[in-house]
Each structure stands twice: as C-alpha cells, then as structure tokens.
Amino acid sequence: MKTKVILALSLVLSLQSEIFSQNGKDSKLFFIQDSIYSEFLKSFEKRNIKGLEVIENSLISMSSPLSQYWLAYARYYKSIYFLKMGNKEQSKKIVQDAIDALDKLNPKGSEELALLALMQSYSIQFSSGMGAGIMSARVKENANQSVRLDSNNIRGWYVLANNDYYTPKQFGGGKKVEEYLLKAISLPEQKIKNPVMPSWGKNDAYYLLISFYIDNGDLKKAKEIFTEAKKLYPDDYMINQYAEKFKN
C-alpha cells in the first residue's frame, strides 16, 4: 500500500513537472507574477483594474494548466482590489470563482495546492460560524498536502503559517506560526530560477514573522528578522512599515 502511495505521488509530481516544463517555453508567461503584482499596485493609482483585466483576458485565451494557475493568482489580486475599494460582495464573488476554477484543475501539484489554500484562507473573512470553520479545515488540508508533495515549497509553509496566525487562539491557532515561518524563510523562493514559475511568499513570511514576534513582545527577535528581511527586500512595502519602529 505504501509503495502504491509513493508511486502515485511520484506520478503527480512527474506530470506536474512536465506540464510546467512545456508551458515554460511560452514567452507570454515570462515574469507573469511580477506583471500581475505591478498592475495590482497601479490599479489604486488609476482607480480601475483595466491593466489586470488585460492580463486576465490574455491568460484566459491560453487555456493551459499553468495559465490557469496564473489566472487564479490574478483574480486573487483583483479580489483584494475590490475589497480595498469597499466592494466586499464583488471581492467575495471573484475569489470564490478563482477558488472553484483552480479546484477543478487536476492533477494538482504542490504549487496549485498552496495557491488554492491561500485563496481559501483569504475567503474565510467572507464566512462566519460553521462556514468559516469548514473553509479553515480546507486550508489546512490543502496546505498540508502541498508540503507533503514538496517539503521545500516555501509557499505551502507560508500558507500554513498564515492560517495558523489568523486562527483564534480559542480554536487552536498560534501554536505553530513560528515553526512554519522559520521553515519558510529558510527555503529559496524557487529551487531552480524560472521566469514563468511562482516565487511569491518569502517576503510575506518575513513580514508575518516580524508581526508575530511583535505581538508576543519579543522585540529583539522582531528586529533581527526585520534587519534580515530588509537586506533581502529593501523596497518591500509591508516590511518597510516596520522601518520606523526599528530605526534605532
């Protein structure tokens, strides 16, 4: 039985690697992650999401497993935009559509599961009571499966930490945040540099770890992690929010 499970996991990883390798030849996806995030930031200056929608339409026309991954990622940021602009219902609809689409993608490898869990974690804010609990369980299940498939996927560890950080203590949250985040920041953004593959998560892990130490009154550790993060990500907006606190 154990041998069959190992073979099944190996097949999934092999198939996923082949899918990404084939689509990695498509120059339209080069630096797609940076393009999506850049247009997301510009959307607040322009007060519209036309730039994100151009990327979204391009990804829809490609119809490959990797383009579907990035389509979900683009819609995740589109959802954040609408939430920041005060349109909670539109934000909820967009992220749920993205979750549904990515969840239908099979087979799902470590990267897809990490992104799926990230979006599910974000969507918890639109639920309450039992619905929030069910979604939180799905986040844990998918993030855990992500790191089981690839224990060196920083994004899986970051999502596990993020979910634990925002889970109320009365429901068991906050116990493994530090462990997960220290694991995340110890890993490379990508095992092999590839302009079409995901590299998100490490800067977010640093920011969350700084926040965790501050929350727990450990300013010495918070400053150490901030200093380390600042060297790696000198222009990161979230990390720089703590610059004033640690300027001396």
pLDDT tens per residue across span 159-215? 999 999 998 888 888 999 999 999 999 999 999 999 999 999 999 999 999 999 999
Name 31's Cβ contacts closer than 8 Å, sequence gap at least 6: 195
Output the 3-class SS for the chain: CHHHHHHHHHHHHHHHHHHHHHHCCCHHHCCHHHHHHHHHHHHHHHCCCHHHHHHHHHHHHHCCHHHHHHHHHHHHHHHHHHHHCCCHHHHHHHHHHHHHHHHCCCCCCHHHHHHHHHHHHHHHHHCCHHHHHHHHHHHHHHHHHHHHHCCCCHHHHHHHHHHHHHCCHHHCCCCCHHHHHHHHHCCCCCCCCCCCCCCCCHHHHHHHHHHHHHHCCCHHHHHHHHHHHHHHCCCCHHHHCCCCCCCC
Q: What percentage of the chain exceeds 70 in pLDDT?
A: 90
Name 58's Cβ contacts closer than 8 Å, sequence gap at least 6: 28
Q: Which of 10-14, 29-33, 38-42, 150-154 has the lowest mean pLDDT?
A: 10-14
Nearest to residue 79, comparing CAs of 101, 109, 99, 59?
A: 99
pLDDT of residue 129: 82
pLDDT of residue 201: 98
pLDDT of residue 48: 96
pLDDT of residue 168: 87
Sign of the four-CA dihedral 110, 71, 141, 15: negative
With 80 as the cut, is the pLDDT of residue 21 above it? no
10-49 b/e (C-beta count within 10 Å ≥ 16 → b): eebeeebeebbeebeeeeebeebbebbeebbeebeeeeeb
pLDDT of residue 41: 95
Nearest to residue 243, comparing CAs of 76, 234, 204?
A: 234
168 vs 3, residue with greater confidence:
168
> Count of alpha carbons within 13 Å of 126, Cβ hemisphere only?
18
Looking at residues 112-135, what average pLDDT do you find? 93
pLDDT of residue 26: 62
Looking at residues 89-115, what average pLDDT do you find? 97
11 vs 198, residue with greater confidence:
198
Q: How confident is the model at residue 2 (pLDDT cuts 50, 70, 90)?
A: very low
pLDDT of residue 214: 97
With 50 as the cut, is the pLDDT of residue 95 above it? yes
pLDDT digits (tens, 9 = 90+) for 49-84: 999 999 999 999 998 999 999 999 999 999 999 999
- For the chain, which residues make up each domain, given as ranges? 29-106
Name 12's Cβ contacts closer than 8 Å, sequence gap at least 6: 107, 108, 109, 149
9 vs 234, residue with greater confidence:
234
pLDDT digits (tens, 9 = 90+) for 138-161: 999 999 999 999 999 999 999 999
pLDDT of residue 217: 97
Name 109's Cβ contacts closer than 8 Å, sequence gap at least 6: 12, 13, 15, 16, 149, 150
Name 5's Cβ contacts closer than 8 Å, sequence gap at least 6: none
Q: How confident is the model at residue 15 (pLDDT cuts 50, 70, 90)?
A: very low
